[in-house]
């Protein structure tokens, strides 16, 4: 069962106290008009007390609600800050990874270009050597 700060217990207590007061008044040795006046007076006091208790409970509920709203706002702000921080870190990591990848690709591109150029040079030299051997054999 949910605990509502004793509000139900207070209501039950007030109802029981009211029933007990009315019962005591009914069995008290008083005249009818005096008894009715006492009952009316006690009823008014009970209603006033119930109103005060209701107002107090309403104020407490309002305070609890406001506290909950403030806490929810704080948690939401902290969550947004955390998400923004993670997004920023992720962006930095992606930029770093992209930069390093570009450097690696440029290095490999340079190596591949150098290998192709060396292959072309080797081909040209082999072709010249073949021509020179063919010319030497013809002579």
The residue extents of the domains of the chain are 7-138
Q: Is 5 helix (H, G, I), strand (E, B) or coil?
A: coil
Residues sharing a CB contact under 8 Å with residue 118, sequence separation 6 or more, in sequence order: none
Higher pLDDT, 27 or 122: 122
- Mean pLDDT check: name the lowest of 12-21, 62-71, 112-121: 12-21
Q: Is the pLDDT of residue 25 over 80?
A: no
Predicted structure pTM score = 0.44
Question: Do the Cβ atoms of 25 and 38 come closer than 8 Å?
Answer: yes
Greater confidence, 6 or 109? Answer: 109
Q: What is the pLDDT of residues 32-49, one digit of tens each?
A: 777 778 778 888 998 899
Mean pLDDT (the chain, rounded): 86
Q: Which position has the higher pLDDT, 91 or 23? A: 91
CA distance 39 to 31: 12
């Amino acid at each position: 069962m949910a605990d509502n700060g004793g509000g139900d217990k207070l209501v039950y207590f007030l109802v029981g106290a009211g029933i007990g007061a009315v019962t005591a008044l009914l069995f008290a040795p008083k005249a009818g008009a005096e008894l009715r006046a006492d009952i009316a007076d006690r009823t008014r006091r009970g209603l006033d007390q119930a109103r005060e208790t209701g107002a107090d409970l309403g104020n407490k509920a309002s305070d609890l609600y406001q506290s909950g709203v403030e806490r929810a706002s704080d948690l939401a702000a902290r969550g947004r800050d955390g998400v923004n921080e993670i997004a920023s870190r992720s962006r930095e990591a992606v930029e770093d990874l992209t930069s390093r990848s570009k450097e690696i690709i440029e290095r490999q591109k340079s190596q591949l270009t150098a290998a192709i150029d060396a292959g072309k040079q080797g081909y040209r030299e082999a072709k010249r050597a073949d021509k020179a051997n063919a010319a030497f054999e013809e002579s």
